[in-house]
Chains A and B, each alone.
Chain A
Amino acid sequence: EVQVVESGGGLVQPGGSLRLSCATSGFTFTTYSMTWVRQAPGKGLEWVANIKQDGSEKSYVGSVKGRFTISRDNAKNSLYLQMNSLRAEDTAVYYCASGRNLETWGQGTLVTVSS
């Protein structure tokens, strides 16, 4: 059974940092690029970052470039998102999804940026 499980969300003050994790199983992780997508409360979906299968290429949406870093550990079938200099507008549920075309999604983890 394919499983994608995000963790690491929580309440953080503006300017703070948080590291999200995504544990996967049930599919060949090393053959998929991986993507983070977020959804602000009551809003639509926004692509955040993508990393290629071997980690050699990483891409970010403009609003997070220079603040967020996507990484992966193929030995652990895991994906990460290091988020620094967090802003109120980063408040969202963050989803991990397989592939560039988002084949399988996790349940999401909520990040709240507030003082």
Chain B
Amino acid sequence: DVVMTQSPLSLPVTLGQPASISCRSSQSLVYSDGNTYLNWFQQRPGQSPRRLIYKVSNRDSGVPDRFSGSGSGTDFTLKISRVEAEDVGVYYCMQGTHWPGTFGQGTKVEIK
């Protein structure tokens, strides 16, 4: 299985400041159709996960534009331009290129 490695696992941030989460895969995530199926999910405390970003950099409907995704091949990043209180939670990267889909360990974002 493809191993997804996130860092850091814990991210204390100051309100209004930027935050960045790294995700690395053990194999290239470029699929045979040319797309890269790397997704980012947010799980707020006590809630179900919610997809934020699909195919590396595409924001899902309703996702604030302070969230952005970038990267290619095996190296990806989720950035929050200015952290707000509602962004507290755990963030997961997930690859859907190879079977089975696999998740990173999760990064817990909290306010300092």
Contact = CB atoms under 8 A, between A and B. Distances in A.
B41 interface: yes
Interface stretch (A12-20, A23-31, A77-85, A98-106): A98-106
B48 to A, nearest CB: 5
A59 B1 CA distance: 14
Most buried by A among B37, B92, B94: B94
A103 B39 CA distance: 9
Contacts of B94: 45, 47, 101-102
Interface residues of A, number: 20
A46 B103 contact: yes
Nearest to B48: A105
B54 interface: yes
Chain B contact residues (Cβ within 8 angstroms of A): what range? 20 to 34
Interface in A36-63: 37, 44-47, 50, 59-61
B13 to A, nearest CB: 21
A39 to B, nearest CB: 8
Given A44-B106, A101-B37, A101-B39, A61 B51 contact: no
Interface of A: 35, 37, 44-47, 50, 59-61, 95, 100-108
Given A44-B92, A101-B94, A108-B48, 10 more contacts: A45-B103, A47-B103, A50-B100, A50-B101, A95-B48, A101-B54, A101-B96, A105-B50, A106-B48, A107-B48
